[in-house]
Amino acid sequence: MSAPTVFGLLRRITPGPRWGVIGIPYLWMLVFFAIPFLIVLKISFARLAIAMPPYTPILEVDNAEVALKLNLSNFLQLGALQNGYIAAYLSSLKIAAIATLLTLLVGYPMAYVIARLPPSGRNIAMMLVVLPSWTSFLIRVYAWIGILKSSGPVGRLLEKTGVIDALQSLGWIEGRQILYTPLATYIGIVYCYLPFMVLPLYTNLVKHDGRLLEAAYDLGARPWKAFLKITLPLSRAGIIAGCMLVMIPAVGEFVIPELLGGPDTLMIGRVLWNEFFANRDWPLASAVAIAMLVLLLIPILVFNRVQQRQIEGRLT
């Protein structure tokens, strides 16, 4: 029970605690995160087979010959314009980009006013912002189904007040309800990802020195000008972090477009799901995943670099 003997034991069995602490998480992530991607890559070169698992091996050993059979048909399928995959990728990018922009437009003012509250108010406000994300995200998306349905109380209210007419004339919706349209998907993404945008923005804005703005006013700048020239540029890091945290996962979103978007809402996450679950075509699904990864690679790398420097940088 006493501390000395526990440590004595630890010291005897570990080769060097430093390598254990590095090694265990490293090994875990290599095995369960990095290597799986390699396997996805491998299977994207396989052919669909009626077997369990439903794909062919790519390494064939026959007597003393080893043949590597890389099947490119999956990628060719993806690349063929008429198959609609490229359209799905582009659509995903477009939807994610628009949704990210909307989230930024909603989230920035919130983060800004919260950062300017007195400290006690700030903490409560941030807790209230983060609280919804502790409840099930699935359920919150589900809540919007009822709201955006034309037959629900909110739907009927929107119909009565002419909002539906307005939206239809703007071309944002085609039928009489918002549900099962791309607009619903935007609303869903903004709703679910809002805390991920507000949090990094708030963390950045709260560190701004109020005296910088005071100096600007003293030198004759109007509040709006001071905001554009001082606050906005200084919050750039927060904006980038927030946008990355929203956009990258949004590109591959599945649940939100599946529940809220209609058949018109083409997103690559749904394509992957359908290829895997509906068509049982694992190789094609893998190819979709690889293409998605390639698409997101650069933003992910940029995000990684920024994150890592943030973690380490606070020490210097």
Partner 1 sequence: MSVGRARWPTWIILGSGFAFLYLPVLLLMVWSFNSSRLATVWAGFSFKWYGELLRDASMLEAAWVSLRIAFWTATASVVLGTMAALVMTRMRRFPGKTLFGGLITAPLVMPDVIIGLSMLLMFVSLGDLFHFQPKGMVSIWIAHTTFALAFVAVVVSSRMAELDKSLEEAAMDLGANRIKVFFLITLPIISPALVSGWLLAFTLSLDDVVIASFVSGPSSTTLPMKVFSSVRLGLSPKINALATLMIVIVSVCAVIGWWLMYRSEQRRRLDMQLALQDNG
**Under the criterion CB under 8 A, does residue 21 sit at the interface with partner 1?**
yes
Interface residue with partner 1, options 69, 176, 207, 225 (CB under 8 A): 207
Three-class SS of residue 131?
helix
Residue 261 · residue 182 · CB < 8 Å: yes
Phi and psi based region of residue 45 (left: phi greater than 0; alpha: psi -120 to 50; beta: remaining) = alpha
The pair of three-digit structure tokens given for residue 293, joined into one six-digit string = 């990864």
Q: Name the segment binding partner 1 (CB under 8 A); options: 67-75, 77-85, 159-167, 242-250.
A: 242-250
Size of the site for partner 1 (CB under 8 A): 105
User: Residue 228 interacts with partner 1 (CB under 8 A)?
Assistant: no
Cis previous bond, 53, omega within 30: yes
Q: At what angle do helices 85-115 and 119-134 cross, to 10 degrees?
A: 150
Place of tokens 């068509």: 279
Picking from 288, 305, 290, 223, the residue whose alpha carbon sits closest to that of residue 86 is: 288
Instruction: Out of 208, 227, 237, 240, name the contact with partner 1 by CB under 8 A.
Output: 208
Q: Which of 98, 140, 159, 174 binds partner 1 (CB under 8 A)?
A: 140
Contact status: 296 vs partner 1 (CB under 8 A): yes
Which one of 61-69, 160-168, 170-178, 243-251 is the stretch in contact with partner 1 (CB under 8 A)? 243-251
For residues 136 and 161, which CB has a smaller minimum distance to partner 1 in the complex? 136
CB of 212 to partner 1, least distance (A): 9
Kindly tell me which of 171 and 211 has the beta carbon lying closer to partner 1.
211
284 touches partner 1 by CB under 8 A: no
Residues numbered 93-132 forming contacts with partner 1, rule: CB under 8 A: 106, 109-110, 113-119, 121-122, 125, 127-129, 131-132
Largest CA distance in the chain: 85
Beta-bridge mates of residue 62: 65
For residues 174-203, which are near partner 1 according to CB under 8 A? 191, 194
Dihedral-angle region of residue 278 (phi above 0 means left; psi in -120 to 50 means alpha; beta otherwise):
alpha
